[in-house]
Every structure is written in structure tokens, then in C-alpha cells.
Structure 1
């Protein structure tokens, strides 16, 4: 089973937002040394927590620091942009990291309505044009002429197939699953965003309605999950307090950087908050290496997946790096780990 990373450049209390981006770069090189397959970065706007607002820029920096790792967006919020401009950006990225680029796209705004209007004051194209935008992207990133135009830079003649960024449809609902299946494209379901809700329906629809395409003869799906591993389950649960507090605050409209777990523990949770956290904790992949590796292995088997994408939030950046290390090592002991020689 392959493991990949989804990184969101999460800001931390007491540290500058720019540091979150540098942490993403450091994590990418760490993930490559551990043998992770892909490293995806997200797009969000106007948020003081998730500060990765330009995935294509961050991808270029990661490309300059890695040699093997596939690098991707998870994703470009396509309705904000011209498909032609996105195609040109990803053709440039392929020129910098030949054959290593994934283009994950979504139709969500990645922010509030005011931010969406600031990103695209003319509101054209809108979310209803999402399928047509994907068709245009497929042509332009694949070196084909569309609307009378070619996207540059082009790959060397004869290398179009291996130098086409791999386009993924990202989603957390039936819509993305149906669209990916109808177009014959890979599909990634945001399990971490929905705590798994809707995954059964979306994955079933994707496989049941799949239509082969010129690029993909068979369906290719993955789940993006949130997981946190520490040497002991107690330590992992302690580290997870930061994200739990953020989730509760987010639901009340209070957004901010991730807080240290010690501060969250000292403050504690009310009885009502503990009730709200109970189902979240029951579905969480948080624990020691054997626990989390077993849970993820079972999840992959349940959906017949050969790859999972792991997202980890942690106020302590060294503990986050360690989490990815421990998870890779645990799966390697099961004979399901990563191909590269693992390093620290």
C-alpha cells in the first residue's frame, strides 16, 4: 500500500504564518526520504489557520528540493480561475519536475463568499462550468490544441504521455465522484473533512458509474485521511487536542492558528464540547504506530485501495515529522510499507 501526504501549511500560535510554508518544504523533503509517494498541498484563502493560498508556487519550491516525489495540488479551486492559466502553470511545473506533477482540482471556494469575489470579481466561469473547465485542462495539459490555443511550455515530441500532469478530481460529495467517473479520471475523497461521512456512497458511485478514458483504463481512487501517530496512544491523544480545540472553535466561527496542546489541556473542554467531540474521537486515526497502521490498513482493505493520503496537524512540528516516520515504519514492518530506504 502506498502512502502519500496532504499538507495544508497550518499556522501555529507563537509562530509567523511564513514559517508554516517553510515547515511544508521541510516536511516534503522528509516525506521523500521516508518513501512517501505523493506530496499534495492545499489551497485556502483568507484564513488565519490554513495559510497555503498559492499551491502552484509552493509546488515549484518543493520541486526544487526533491527528486522522486510526485508533487500535486489538493487542490486548485478551479472556478476562481482561467483554465488556460492553470494549464500554463502546471505545464511550467512539469518542466521543472518532469513527469512528477499531479493537478488536483475542486469546485469549492476554499474561503468565504467575499474572498471568492476578490479572487474572481467577474464570477465567470462559475462552479456550473466546472466540467467544461476540466475538459479544457485535459486538452491543454496534455499538449493538445483547444479553442485554437496550445499551452506552453510543451514537452519534447514523443513524451506527451509521460509528461502530462495527472489530473485528479477532489471532492467530499457525490458530485465529484460522479464527475470523475464520467470523465474517466482519478478521484480523491476528503475523508478528513467529513470524518468519513458520505464515503461509502461516493466511492460506490465512482466505481459503479466508471467509464474508461484514453488515459485511465481502470478506476483509481484514494481517501485523504487525518491521522496522528506518537510512540504511545496517550501522547498521540494529547497532541490531537490542538486540532480538536480548533474544530470546536471553527464551528463557532472562531478561526485562528493552532494552539499548543498544553494550553488546550489546561483550559479543558465543557461537558457539551466533550459530547460533540465523542463521535469525532471515535472515528479518528490517533494512537500508537501499531494502532493507526492497523486502522489505515483496514480502511484501505474496506474500499479496495492501494493508496491512502495522510494529513497530519500538530502544533509541535517535530512531533508531526515523527508521526509520518512512525507510520511509515509501522507499515514497513507489516510488509506494506514504502519503497525507499527510510531515513530520519
Structure 2
């Protein structure tokens, strides 16, 4: 089992938001030293809990501070943008880190609808997503556009021996089908749905897959996990994430609270959700969490798990990745 990382630059109570961005860059350097396969960055807009708004900018900062680890977007919310401009941005990134750039794209807005309209005033922009993906794939790989396409003869520069690796992201069957149709690698956001629909989406992807950018199905899943030196300490740290998830059920979003401030009384419905969340969560010592991740990987027949971890204390987040790397035998 290979392990990778997704980081969202989470906002934290009592800490300036710009620190979260710098913590992300430092975490990428740390995870490269630990032997992780990739380091991916998400895109969200006007969300009080997450300040990672521009993955391509963060990727550039990380590219010049690392030498081995793959760096990627998870992802660029393509309906907001011109595929040609995205291709140019990621070709520049590939020039900074040749052969190490992953270009993960998604259809979701990564924001509320008002914010999405500010990014792209066209309310039907998501309807063009399949065509956008096809255009992006062509410009990234250097293919010529078909006869009659307005972009025929236009090149996304700089050109190089290597090129960004396109990935399709999703948390439903839609992304799985599109990835299969275009022959793209596919990543399922297990942490968004708590695993609901994951096995079905991967099975659909494999059944419908047609060779394209890759010749055989290539998939991973992104899982929320947290490890600490003791199981008790892991659950104590989990209180911050737990509170955020419970609050989100009722539309309350805000910076991550320290564990000691995160505990509050829950009503019956909230408590039921909380207990279900705890039962589904990958929390414990490094060995305990890696054992569960291996079991998930075997059940889903995948070779790579991408881990996302929220903690109020960045040192606790780094320690979690250290423990998982040690238990998984990363080098």
C-alpha cells in the first residue's frame, strides 16, 4: 500500500489564516522526507474552515522546496476556468518540477452558489465539464484540437519532455464514469461521503474503463485519518474535527477549534451523527490506523490511499503523518 497526502490549509481559531498556508508548505517538505508518494492540495472559496483557495500557487511554492514527491491539485474546479489557461499554469508547474505534477480536476464548485457565480457568471458552466476535460487533456498532452475547433493550432506552453498527469476526482458515480470514458486515473473522495458509494463508484470505473491517457484502470481513495502516540490522545485530538463535522450538519462553518474548546452538548440527532462518525473514522495509534487503511485498500482492490488530517495543532498533524509512515514502512 502506497500512502499520499491531501492538505486543505485549514483555518484555526486563534491563528492568522496566512499561517495555515505556510504550515501546508512545511507539511509538504515534511511528508517528502517521510516517503509519501504525493502531496495534493484542494480548492475552496469563501469557506471559513478552509483557506486553501489557489492550489496552483501553493504547488509552485512546494515545487521549489521539494525534489521527489509528486505535487498535485485535488483539485482544480474546472467549470470556473478556461481549460487553456489551466493547461498553461500546469505546464509551468511541470517546468518547475518535471515529471512530478498531478492535475486533478473536479466538477463541484468548492464553494456556495453565490461565490461560484463570482468565479464564473455562467450558471450552466458545469454542464460543459466533459468537454472542458477533453480540451484540457489535449492541451496538457500536446494533442492537436480537431478540425473546426477554435483552439486548433493553439499550443499551451511551455512544452517539455514531461507533462502533468491528469486525474479525475469525484465523490459519486458521475466522475467514475467520466474517468472511465476518457481513460483517466480516478480518485474517490472517501472523506466527503464517509465512504458511501465508494465501492460502487470504483466498480463502475473498472467496468466501463476504456484505455486512454492510461492503459488500465488506476485509482486511489482519499480518506480522513488521524494517528497519535496513544489511542486516547488520538481521540482527544479528534474532538476538533468531530465538532466541525457535527456543526456542518446544521450549516455552521468556522475555523477549527482546539480540542479543549471543541466539546459542547449535542442534541439527540447530533449525538447520533457523532456516534456514527466515530464508528466510521480512522483514528488511533499509527499501527491501528494503518491496519484499517490496509483493510480498506484490500477491500477496494486499490494500491494507494491518500490521507487527509485535520488538527488544530500543526505539530500534531505532522506527528500523525510520521506515525502512519512508520507503521506503513515508508522509506
* Alpha-carbon distance in 1 for matches of 2:55, 2:229: 32
1:1-344 aligned at under 5 Å gives the runs: 1-123=1-123, 126-146=125-145, 147-148=151-152, 149-155=154-160, 159=161, 163-213=162-212, 215-265=213-263, 267-332=264-329, 338=330, 340=331
1:193 Cα deviation from its structure 2 partner: 0.4
Return the offset for 1:268.
4.4
Distance across 1 between alignment mates of 2:62 and 2:321: 18
Identify the residue that residue 335 of structure 1 maps to in structure 2: none
Output the TM-score relative to the length of structure 2. Answer: 0.96
Give the Cα–Cα distance (whole angstroms) in 2 for the partners of residues 180 and 52 of structure 1: 25
Maintained 8 Å contact 1:49/1:255: yes
Deviation, 1:260, is 0.4
Query: Equivalents in 2 of 1:101, 1:309: separation in Å?
Result: 16
Return the offset for 1:263.
Answer: 1.0
How far apart, in 1, do the equivalents of 2:112 and 2:195 lie? 24
Distance of 1:197 and 1:254 partners within structure 2 = 22
Cα displacement (A) at 1:198: 0.5
TM-score normalised per structure 1: 0.92
Q: Who is 2:148 aligned against?
A: none
Q: Secondary structure at the match of 1:240?
A: helix
CA offsets 1:90-140 (integer angstroms, 9 cap, x no match): 01100111110000000000001100110012446x111111111111111
Q: CA deviation at 1:145?
A: 3.0
Consecutive aligned runs of 4 or more in structure 1 exceeding 6 Å deviation: none
* Other structure's SS at 1:65 match: coil
Secondary structure of 2:220's aligned partner: strand
Give the Å deviation of 1:280.
Answer: 1.0
Measure how far apart 1:271 and its partner are. 4.3
Deviation string for 1:242-277 (max 9, x for gaps)?
A: 011111111211111000001123x34444422111
- State the superposition RMSD in angstroms: 1.1
Contact in 2 for aligned 1:168/1:185 (Cα 8 Å) = yes
| Alignment partners' CA distance in 1, 2:183 and 2:189 | 19
Tell me, which stretches of 5 or more residues in structure 2 are unaligned?
Answer: 146-150
Q: Are 1:243 and 1:258, in contact at CA under 8 Å, matched by a contact in 2? A: yes
Give, in whole Å, the separation in 1 of the partners of 2:123 and 2:157. Answer: 26
Do 1:80 and 1:123's aligned partners in 2 also have CA atoms closer than 8 Å?
no
1:327 counterpart SS class: helix
For 2:284 and 2:188, the matched residues in 1 are separated by 23
